[in-house]
Structure 1
Amino acid sequence: MQLSSTLAWLVDTAAETAGADRLLAELGAHLVADGLPLVAGALTLDVPHPLIARRTWLWRAETGAVIEAVDFAPGATALVPEAPNHAGRRWLSEIAEGRAYEDVIGPGPDGPSLGWIGPRPFTPKETNELRQAARFAASPLAVLAVRATLTATLEAYLGRRSAARVLAAPLRRDRGETIQAALLYADLRNFTALSESNPPATVIAALDAWFDRIAGAVHAFGGEVLKFIGDGVLAIFPVVNEAPRRASEAALRAASAAQAGMAHLDDERRRQGLPPLSFGAALHLGEMLWGNIGAANRLDFTAIGPAVNLVSRLEGLCRPLGKTVLVSGALAAETDIPLMPLGTHSLRGIASPCAVFTLPEG
């Protein structure tokens, strides 16, 4: 039996497609080339993610364009706008206007869902061809789902840039690179007293609220949380195209946004009769080794080096100086954002004194 061009592509090449969006677009184009009358299609995959329950890609035959919609996970809707439900099916129904809708794969409990609409009801022959294509699509879709699950899992635990670096490099501890970045290190105050005087659920809720504000601010300005260290956070804003000013100012804006976010959180906590959560944050610009370290068979992907040491030590000055955010002279030199000088200070374990600045009050 000679396979159609669609089925041959699904067998030979589809599993190598870069992502679900391209697979949907190319599958739709192959079906149209084989004579199937299609107006639009939708592909849904369940992908483990802290906020997203499933991802849906929507394809228009007329333009070949693909857009993405998401269904949010239970409990995530407090952080996001009103969540769509079964986005692919709803979208196809909205544009169908009486045309045929054919659900040709699933959806199963964990499987993909693939649907098409045409300019008229599909004939039995066309329906059979769509179903046959769906059966051949099951294998490349499974490959895509596994790849997407791995990527989403690594991104949730490592961050997007670090996850991409891990996926692209061999799993060996001698793999890393020196990069320049603006670093942000932040630490929650009085965490030991909080954890000793409250039940674990209360402590975890406070930590999650704190991490939401600091990580949300970092991500909003293009940074990436590299580590959660107890109640602390290490984030990086990598320098791209030799533009340290952009990374430095992004880190400063993230610190300001974190302050604003924590102020709102403290207002909420006071209304609930809870104490405020104070924190300290330090910013620095420098080079670090970004890559794998660890034992021979147990690796960690992290950043080490003098810049990391300095930013953590600088954060330790927040309490004695009575400031929430401190900025090193190296980072201050790369921005026009107004900063207040606080003099030069010695940092524990750092050979040279550090010029220290802070954000203006108010």
Structure 2
Amino acid sequence: MDHTEAFARWLASEAPHGTVQGLFAGFCQEVVRSGIPVWRASLGLEVLHPEVSGWQHVWTNESLSVRGSDRATAATSPSYLNSPTRIVDETARPFRRRLEAPLPDLPLLEELRLAGATDYVMYPLPFLDQTRTAVISFATQHPQGFDAISFDRLEFGAKLLSPYLERHVLRRIAVDLLDTYVGPRTGQRIIEGRVDRGAVEMIEAAIWFADLRGFTFLSEQAPIPVVLTHLNAWFGIIGEVVEAHGGEVLKFIGDAVLAIFPNSGEHDRMAACRRALAAAQEFCRRSEAENVLRRSSGSPPLEHGLALHVGEVAYGNVGASRRLDFTVIGPAVNRASRLLDLAKRLNRPVLVSHALAREVDHPLVDLGRHQLRDVEKPQRVFTLPEQDLV
């Protein structure tokens, strides 16, 4: 059995396909076992994530390291602009450099040369999707570098490995996009195949409904970039706070946010309500701290309304046959929405329903009974003490 057939059999039958890290490390070990003198190998894979541009995996006989790159700076960073990766991205061709003399134009290769490397080659991986970076490189410390047979085997091995790696990348992109646009809990359900229209499950959750006050006026008066900066600053605080307390933002609706804190167990109603209330307290503190900075710079403050309720909701798919929304619906969501309307009428930043107030041990201020739109009887509502709002 020749090297190519042996490697193909390994990929099909023995390779650890569970993770990119395991697959890449196993591949490198097989390459070395086949007699190719690889000292260091690197795998660069670009993904589609709002914060991370991609991942670089670096293997040696001693270790495997993984490092992410910041999406905001990846394409303009000196480490990319002065790298073999940029050259391969732009030419779509293999890149080779003997490391016999100083390489001031390519700092990474100079670093490898000083560490004893004598030869370096990078190949573009033949992914079906050619719009993102996918490269693999090899370096050796062998005095004569790589010979022609080694180059042929490395290039063919990379081609055999490529579809397995692309499968991982495509799944990572799908998961990251779902996490980004619908949240990790909801995204997991979609990945699992829960995409039937009208298919819902009944869950109990604390409900968080918030909106940004004065947004219409701001939109009429300020340039769009200023409006977007204002809105993203506010959404950013909410997203961080909700996630930190175990909740999930389900959707952004104009200048409003719907989030839930699901019960994680049969008797976890109280814990979900406490997490939602703790998130509200932190949100108020962080909003006030942000407003201090905004006022000092002449920017408009971030004024908000926030309603907290708890109850059973239908969690699942609604929408058109080819355009679905994974959300929560039900009387509890409607009441949270009406409670948010009341918060605006009462000029209160936070209102808490009686149902949720019963589940927490934090002192709240009783505001008495108030009529909610489309709700038959007046409802008792509460707010946070003054010290929790600043």
- TM above 0.5, yes or no, is yes
Does structure 2 retain, via aligned residues, the 8 Å contact 1:238–1:247? yes
User: 1:196/1:75 Cα in 2 relative to 1: closer, same or farther (>3 Å)?
Assistant: farther
Report the Cα distance in structure 1 between the residues aligned to 2:58 and 2:272, rounded to whole angstroms.
34
State whether structure 2 residue 48 is matched by structure 1 residue 23: no
Question: Hey, what's the Cα distance between the residues in 2 that align with 1:34 and 1:156?
Answer: 42
Q: Does the C-alpha gap of structure 1 residues 36 and 218 become closer, same or farther in structure 2, counting only changes over 3 Å?
A: farther
Residue 295 of structure 1: CA displacement? 1.5
Matched, 1:307 2:336: no
Of 280, 285, 295 in structure 1, the residue corresponding to residue 305 of structure 2 is 280
Give the distance between the partners of 1:351 and 1:40, measured in 2 at CA. 71
Q: What is the percent sequence identity of the aligned residues?
A: 37
Following TM superposition, by how much is the alpha carbon of 1:310 offset from its aligned partner in structure 2, in angstroms? 1.6
> Matches of 1:194 and 1:75 in 2, distance apart?
31
What amino acid sits opposite 1:21 in the alignment?
A: Q
Rate the CA distance shift 1:163–1:273 in 2: closer, same or farther, 3 A: same
**8 Å CA contact retained: 2:37, 2:146:** no
- Tell me what 1:191 maps to: 215
Output the CA distance in 1 between the equivalents of 2:278 and 2:206.
12
1:56–1:68 contact (8 Å) kept in structure 2 = yes
8 Å CA contact retained: 1:70, 1:84 = no
Counting only pairs closer than 5 Å after superposition, residues 106-255 of structure 1 correspond to structure 2 as 106=124, 110-115=132-137, 124=147, 128-242=152-266, 243-255=268-280
Report how far residue 144 of structure 1 moved: 2.2
1:48 to 1:305, Cα distance in 2 relative to 1, 3 A:
same
State the structure with more CA Rg: 2
Gap change, CA 1:274 and 1:297, over 3 Å in 2: same
Letter in 2 for 1:309: N
* 197-206 or 31-40, larger mean C-alpha shift: 31-40
Q: Specify the alignment match of 2:48 in structure 1.
A: 48
**More moved, 48-57 vs 335-344:** 335-344
Give the structure 2 partner of residue 8 of structure 1: 9
Instruction: Give the whole-Å Cα distance in 2 for the aligned partners of 1:36 and 1:273.
Output: 64
Structure 1 residue aligned with 2:361? 336
Letter in 1 for 2:47: V
Would the alpha carbon gap of residues 49 and 329 (structure 1) be closer, same or farther in structure 2, given more than 3 Å must change? same
Which deviates further from its counterpart, 20-29 or 248-257?
20-29
Superposed displacement of residue 117, structure 1 = 6.0
Shift of 1:32: 5.6
Q: Contact conserved, 2:120 with 2:140, CA < 8 A, in 1?
A: no
Q: Secondary structure at the match of 2:227?
A: helix
Q: RMSD in angstroms over aligned alpha carbons?
A: 3.6
| Contact persistence 1:101–1:115 (CA under 8 A) | no
TM-score, with normalisation over the residues of structure 2? 0.76
Determine the C-alpha separation between the residues in 1 that align with 2:269 and 2:261.
9
For the residue of structure 1 that corresponds to 2:178, the secondary structure is helix
Structure 1 position 228, deviation (Å):
0.4
SS state of the match for residue 337, structure 1?
Answer: coil
The counterpart of 2:70, out of the listed 69, 72, 75, is 72
Residue 29 of structure 1: CA displacement?
5.0
The answer to which of 322-331 and 233-242 deviates more is 322-331
CA contact (8 A) 1:112 1:141 kept: no
Q: Deviations over 1:209-243 (max 9, x none)?
A: 11111112112223221110010000122221333
Superposed CA offset, 1:297-324 (max 9, x none): 2211111112211211112222333421
Most deviating of 144-153 and 18-27: 18-27
For 1:105, the equivalent position in structure 2 comes to 123
Please report how far the alpha carbon of residue 106 of structure 1 lies from its aligned counterpart in structure 2 after TM superposition: 3.2
CA contact (8 A) 1:104 1:130 kept: no
Partner amino acid, structure 2, of 1:149: I
SS in 1 for 2:386: coil
- Contact map agreement 1:47 1:149 (CA 8 A) in 2: yes
2:104 paired residue number = none
Q: Deviations over 1:26-81 (max 9, x none)?
A: 43454466566777654321112222211234557557xx66421112279xxxxx
* 2:373 counterpart SS class: coil
Question: For 2:177 and 2:189, how far apart are their aligned partners in 1?
Answer: 14
Q: Distance in 1 between matches of 2:383 and 2:150?
A: 68
- For residues 335-362 of structure 1, what are the alpha-carbon distances to aligned partners after superposition, in whole Å with 9 as ceiling and x for unaligned? 3334333334332223454442322222
CA distance in 1, matches of 2:280, 2:36: 54
1 CA distance for matches of 2:378 and 2:32? 68
**Aligned twin of 2:102:** none
Q: CA deviation at 1:183?
A: 1.6
Specify every segment of 5 or more residues in structure 1 that has no aligned partner in the other structure, as ranges.
77-82
Instruction: Report the residue type matching 1:251 in the other structure.
Output: A
Q: Verify the 8 A CA contact 2:119 2:141 in the aligned structure 1.
A: no
Moved more, 180-189 or 271-280: 271-280
Q: Return the letter of the residue paired with 1:270.
A: R
1-structure distance, mates of 2:7, 2:330: 52
